[in-house]
Amino acid sequence: MWNKVEFVVDINPEISYSLLVFHPDFMITDFPITPLNHVINRYKVAKRHLKRVNVGNLHTLGIQNWERFEKKS
């Protein structure tokens, strides 16, 4: 994870960085949904170094809005 964030930071810490919660669907159904603790840990690492970090597909974890996610992280 850090290598990816470091790569983006070296270019410009203002670049938007998106993390996506994996949702098993269609052809890839043998992987589980990304665990919430993994999402929170990766978000914290990215947020320490980048100014614009977004997490997509939070609804798959039962989180309906961004504010609720930020309270958990």
User: What are 27-40's pLDDT values in tens digits?
Assistant: 888 888 899 999 99
3-state secondary structure of 60: helix
Task: Name residues whose C-beta falls within 8 Å of residue 13's C-beta, 6 or more positions apart in sequence.
Answer: 49, 50, 51
* Parts of the chain with a pLDDT under 50: none
Rounded-to-integer distance, Cα 72 and Cα 42, Å: 13
Q: What is the pLDDT of residue 41?
A: 92
Q: What is the pLDDT of residue 1?
A: 60
Q: What is the pLDDT of residue 2?
A: 60
φ, ψ (nearest 5 deg) of residue 58: -60, -25
State the pTM of this model: 0.78
* Interaxial angle between packed helices 2-11 and 36-49, expressed in degrees from 0 to 180 and rounded to the nearest 10: 30
Token duo for residue 69: 């996610």
Q: What is the pLDDT of residue 14?
A: 92
Domain ranges of the chain: 26-73
